[in-house]
A and B are shown apart, each in its own frame.
Chain A
C-alpha cells in the first residue's frame, strides 16, 4: 500500500474516483460556441431570471357537534317562518351513513315539499295532519349532512366532510375564525369538539387533498395555456409556489389570475350546439364517487344557471328526446365531456330546475380517471378554496446572469483565500494539493448530485455549498493535525488509530451540522429549504466519500515525501 499503484487498489479511492467521474458526467460540462459554457445543472429563478408567486389557501378544519333538533330549527324556521317541534329523531343511530335515518317535526305553518327540499337535507315527505299542523319527515339524511348544510348556508361556502379515525372533520373552504365557528355552532346547540387533552380541533388551513387538488387545478390551467414548464409546488401545509421561468411578474400574475373558460353547450340539431352557461354559473364541484355501477362527478349550479339549463332544455326539446340533445362541456373551447340528460333528470326538469347534477363517466378505471379529470376541469378558473397572494418575486434575466457569474467568482476567490491560509500554516504543497483537491471534488460531487436529482441551484443553495465546503476544510485540518501529531507521519498502525480519532471528532461535528439543519428541511421555508438540503448533502458527501480518501492520500504523499522520494519543501 505504500506505492502509488496501491493507492488505486484502495476500495475507498476507487469509489471516490467513480463517483467523481460520475458527477462530472452528470453535470456534463461543455462549451458551445456562441452559447458559452453549458451544463446539465438547473438554476433557480434568482440565477436564471423569472418570477414566482406564492399563494396561501384559506380555509379551516374542525370537528364540530350540534343538536339535531336545533340544527333543523335553525335551517327550517327561517324558510317557513314558524317555529317547529321535533317529534322523532334517529340520527344518532350508529354508523355515519344515511341509510334508514330520518328526523320528523311538526309545525303550525303550511309547508310545501320543494321549500324544504331546497335546503338539500335529504328526501322530504310532507303530511298535513290537520288544518293547524303539518308533519315533515326528512329521511335518507345524517347528522353529517345536517351539519354540512347548516355550515354551508351560514358561511355561504363549500363544506367538505371527511372521516378520520377520530371522527368526521369538516373542511370549511373559506376564512372563518375559531370564535366565529364556535358562535355558529352554539346557535345550533353544539360546539367545536375538543381533543382529549382539551385543545380545540379547530385548525386553520385545508386538508392535504384539497391543497393537492388546488395545485393540480393550477397546473392544469397553466398547462392548458401552453405553458408546459411551469412547476406548481406545494410548500408546507397551506402554501403553493408557482415558478415562472423567464416571465415577468406582471405577466405571471395575469396568467395565474386569468380563469379558464368553462362552458356548457347543448346540441340543437345535428352537430349544431347552443350556449347554456359558463363556469361562473357553477356553485361547487364534489369529489368523484362510484355508485349505481358508474363513476360520477357531482357539481351544483347556481340559481340562474339551473334556471337557464331548465329553460334551454325545454326550448330545444332535450326533455322529450335526450339522446338527440347531448349536453357538452368545453374548457377553453375544447370539448372535455358530452352526455345526454338522464331520463329521470329530463322528467324532473319539466317541473323544476335542478341544482345538483352528476356527470357519469362509465364503469372502469379509465372512467374513474375521467371523473377525476372532469372534477379538475369543472373547476378551471374556480379553485376549490379562496387563495391569497402572500409573496412574489422577480429577477431580471440579466441580473440573474450577473448573480451567477459573481457567485462563481466569489467562490473561486474564497477557495484561493483558504488555500493561502492552509499553505501559510503548513508550508507543504503535499498537504495543500490534496486538501484543495478534496474540497474541489466535494463541490463537483454536490453539483453532480444536484444535477441527477434535478435540484434547482439558487443563491441559497450556493450558500449551502459554501457552508459544506467550509466545514469540510475544517475537517481536513483536523485529519491533518491528528495524523501529524508529532510533526511527522507515524507508523501505519498508529496512523490508523489517529485517523479513527480524527473521525470521532469529525463525525460528531458533522452530525451537529446535520441535526441543526434538519428543521429547515422539514419546515416550509422556500429558499432556506434548499440551503439546508445542499448543506446536508454536502456534509454527507464529505464525511462518507471524500474525507476518508483524503486520509489515504495524505498518508501516501507524506510517506513518499518522508522517504526522500520527492516532494519539495521550500
Chain B
C-alpha cells in the first residue's frame, strides 16, 4: 500500500507544475477555513465544544436499557443527550446545583454498574477554554520558531509552517463536519498533530536544501521515507481506532475507550491531510523556491 501510494504521488508531483500542486491543498484549506469560520460566526466557536469546555456532567453506565429509557428515567434532571456506544450509554447533563448533582450521582451509582462520571463547572470550563486557546497558540509559535531556527531561510520555513497550520485546520474542520466535539482528548490530538505533521516536512526540507542531487531525485527519495513514516503511524492509529471503538462487538467484556477513540480518529484525519500538505503544498512551494533563477541551480545538482 505504501509503495503504491508513493509511486502514485511521485508521478503526480513529477507530472504537474508547482501551481497545479498547490491548487488542490489550498482549495481544501480554504474549504476548511470556511467551515470553521461559518461555525465561528453561527455558534461562537470554530468547533463544537465538549462538556469539559462548557461545563456540565457526563455519566456513562453499563446497561441493557435503551437510551430513550434512560432519558425518561432522568427526565427530572437537565439531561441533554443519551447515546449508546456498545454496551454503554453515555448521558450528558447541563449544569446542576450541588444538591441535584449529588442526588443524581447517588442514584446512578446505586442503580448501574461500571459507572464513569465526569463533571466540570462552567467557571472551570471557561478557564479550560482560555487555556486551550493559549496552549494551541503557544505550541504553534514554538514549533514555528524551531522550524525557522532549523532552516534559517524564510520561504522553506514558511512552507513547513503553512503545511502544519493547514493540517490542524483540516483536522479541526473534519471534527466539525464529523460532529466530534473538542474535548481534552481531541485537543491533545490537535497538539500531537503539530509534532507529527512537521516530521515529514522537516525531512523533505532538510533533504532538498541540505543535500546534493537533482531536485527530482531528492523529492522522490524523501517521499519514499516520508510516506513510510506516515503510513506506519496511520496503521497504528487505524488499529487503535478500531480496537478502542469497536472491540466490544467481538469481545463483549471490552469497553469503548472514548479518549483513545477520539484521539485516533482526529489524528487519522490530520495525518491524511498531512500527506497531502507535505507532498503537494510543501513540495510545490519548496520546488518553486529552489528552482528560482537567482540560485542558479544551487539546490539542483
Which of B123, B143, B195 has the largest count of A CB atoms less than 10 A from its CB?
A: B195
Q: Of B2, B109, B120, which contacts A391 at CB under 8 A?
A: B120
Q: Mask for A368-412, Cβ within 8 A of B = 1, else 0? A: 000000000000000000001111111110110011011101100
Q: List CB contacts (< 8 Å) of B206-261 with chain A.
A: 206, 210-211, 221, 224-225, 228-229, 231-233, 235-240, 243-244, 247, 253-255, 257, 259-260
C-alpha gap A132/B140 in the complex (Å): 73
Which of B127, B199, B237, B238 has the largest count of A CB atoms less than 10 A from its CB?
A: B199
- Please tell me if the beta carbons of B145 and A515 are within 8 angstroms of each other in the complex: yes
Q: Of A390, A422, A466, which contacts B232 at CB under 8 A?
A: A422
C-alpha gap A246/B114 in the complex (Å): 13
Q: Mask for A159-199, Cβ within 8 A of B = 1, else 0? A: 00000000000000000000000000000000000000000
C-alpha gap A527/B131 in the complex (Å): 13
Q: Is A528 at the interface (CB under 8 A from chain B)? A: yes
C-alpha gap A51/B102 in the complex (Å): 13
B257: chain A residues at CB < 8 Å are: 403, 406-407, 410, 459
C-alpha gap A520/B260 in the complex (Å): 18
C-alpha gap A150/B134 in the complex (Å): 38
- Please tell me if the beta carbons of A505 and B202 are within 8 angstroms of each other in the complex: yes
Knowing A390-B121, A508-B146, A527-B184 are in contact, say whether A466-B195 is a contact too (CB < 8 A): no
Q: Mask for B104-128, Cβ within 8 A of A = 1, else 0? A: 0110010001111111110110011
Q: Is B73 at the interface (CB under 8 A from chain A)? A: no
Smallest Cβ-Cβ distance to B139: which chain A residue: A516
- Please tell me if the beta carbons of A515 and B109 are within 8 angstroms of each other in the complex: no
Knowing A406-B244, A418-B236 are in contact, say whether A391-B119 is a contact too (CB < 8 A): yes
Which of B106, B142, B231, B232 has the largest count of A CB atoms less than 10 A from its CB?
A: B232
Q: Is A478 at the interface (CB under 8 A from chain B)? A: yes
B106: chain A residues at CB < 8 Å are: 250
Q: Of B187, B196, B260, which contacts A528 at CB under 8 A?
A: B187
Smallest Cβ-Cβ distance to B57: which chain A residue: A392
A409: chain B residues at CB < 8 Å are: 243, 247
B2: chain A residues at CB < 8 Å are: 421, 424-425
B142: chain A residues at CB < 8 Å are: 512, 515-516, 518-519
Among the stretches A318-326, A441-449, A469-477, the one at the interface with B is: A469-477
C-alpha gap A467/B233 in the complex (Å): 9
B13: chain A residues at CB < 8 Å are: none
C-alpha gap A466/B188 in the complex (Å): 12
Q: Is B263 at the interface (CB under 8 A from chain A)? A: yes
Q: Of B62, B196, B260, which contacts A459 at CB under 8 A?
A: B260
Q: Of B109, B127, B224, B254, which contacts A394 at CB under 8 A?
A: B109
- Determine how close the nearest CB of chain A comes to the CB of B265; give it in whole angstroms: 13
Q: Is A155 at the interface (CB under 8 A from chain B)? A: no
A466: chain B residues at CB < 8 Å are: 236, 240
C-alpha gap A524/B127 in the complex (Å): 10
- Please tell me if the beta carbons of A473 and B244 are within 8 angstroms of each other in the complex: no
- Please tell me if the beta carbons of A470 and B233 are within 8 angstroms of each other in the complex: yes
- Determine how close the nearest CB of chain B comes to the CB of A464; give it in whole angstroms: 8
Smallest Cβ-Cβ distance to A415: which chain B residue: B236
Knowing A403-B257, A512-B195 are in contact, say whether A418-B232 is a contact too (CB < 8 A): yes
Q: Is B203 at the interface (CB under 8 A from chain A)? A: yes
C-alpha gap A405/B236 in the complex (Å): 18
Smallest Cβ-Cβ distance to A469: which chain B residue: B236
Smallest Cβ-Cβ distance to A513: which chain B residue: B195
Knowing A413-B239, A414-B239 are in contact, say whether A389-B121 is a contact too (CB < 8 A): yes
B119: chain A residues at CB < 8 Å are: 391-393
- Determine how close the nearest CB of chain B comes to the CB of A515; give it in whole angstroms: 4
Smallest Cβ-Cβ distance to A520: which chain B residue: B135
C-alpha gap A291/B191 in the complex (Å): 54
- Please tell me if the beta carbons of B102 and A250 are within 8 angstroms of each other in the complex: yes
Knowing A392-B117, A422-B232 are in contact, say whether A406-B198 is a contact too (CB < 8 A): no
C-alpha gap A425/B229 in the complex (Å): 10
C-alpha gap A463/B257 in the complex (Å): 11
Q: Is A248 at the interface (CB under 8 A from chain B)? A: yes
A394: chain B residues at CB < 8 Å are: 105, 109, 115-118
A46: chain B residues at CB < 8 Å are: 116
Knowing A54-B124, A481-B224 are in contact, say whether A417-B238 is a contact too (CB < 8 A): yes
- Determine how close the nearest CB of chain B comes to the CB of A39; give it in whole angstroms: 20
B192: chain A residues at CB < 8 Å are: 467, 535
- Please tell me if the beta carbons of B134 and A512 are within 8 angstroms of each other in the complex: no
A474: chain B residues at CB < 8 Å are: 196, 199-200, 229, 232-233
B23: chain A residues at CB < 8 Å are: none
Q: Is A249 at the interface (CB under 8 A from chain B)? A: yes
Smallest Cβ-Cβ distance to B239: which chain A residue: A417
A425: chain B residues at CB < 8 Å are: 2-3, 228
- Please tell me if the beta carbons of A407 and B135 are within 8 angstroms of each other in the complex: no
Q: List CB contacts (< 8 Å) of B245-294 with chain A.
A: 247, 253-255, 257, 259-260, 263
Q: Is B169 at the interface (CB under 8 A from chain A)? A: no
Q: Is A223 at the interface (CB under 8 A from chain B)? A: no
Q: Is A509 at the interface (CB under 8 A from chain B)? A: yes
C-alpha gap A512/B143 in the complex (Å): 5
Q: Of B102, B198, B263, which contacts A463 at CB under 8 A?
A: B263
C-alpha gap A403/B1 in the complex (Å): 32
Knowing A389-B98, A516-B142 are in contact, say whether A477-B232 is a contact too (CB < 8 A): yes
A sample of 10 more A-B contacts (CB under 8 A), given A54-B124, A417-B235, A512-B202, is A56-B124, A402-B255, A418-B236, A421-B2, A421-B235, A473-B233, A478-B225, A481-B225, A508-B206, A516-B139
Closest 3 pairs (CB-CB, A-B): A513-B195, A390-B124, A515-B142
Query: Which A residues have a C-beta under 8 Å from some C-beta of B?
Result: 46, 51, 54, 56, 239, 248-250, 253, 388-396, 398-399, 402-403, 405-407, 409-410, 413-418, 420-422, 424-425, 459-460, 462-463, 466-467, 470-471, 473-474, 477-478, 481-482, 485, 501, 504-505, 508-509, 511-513, 515-520, 523-528, 531-532, 535
Query: Which B residues have a C-beta under 8 Å from some C-beta of A?
Result: 1-3, 62, 98, 102, 105-106, 109, 113-121, 123-124, 127-128, 131, 134-135, 138-140, 142-143, 145-147, 150, 184-185, 187-188, 191-192, 194-196, 198-200, 202-203, 206, 210-211, 221, 224-225, 228-229, 231-233, 235-240, 243-244, 247, 253-255, 257, 259-260, 263
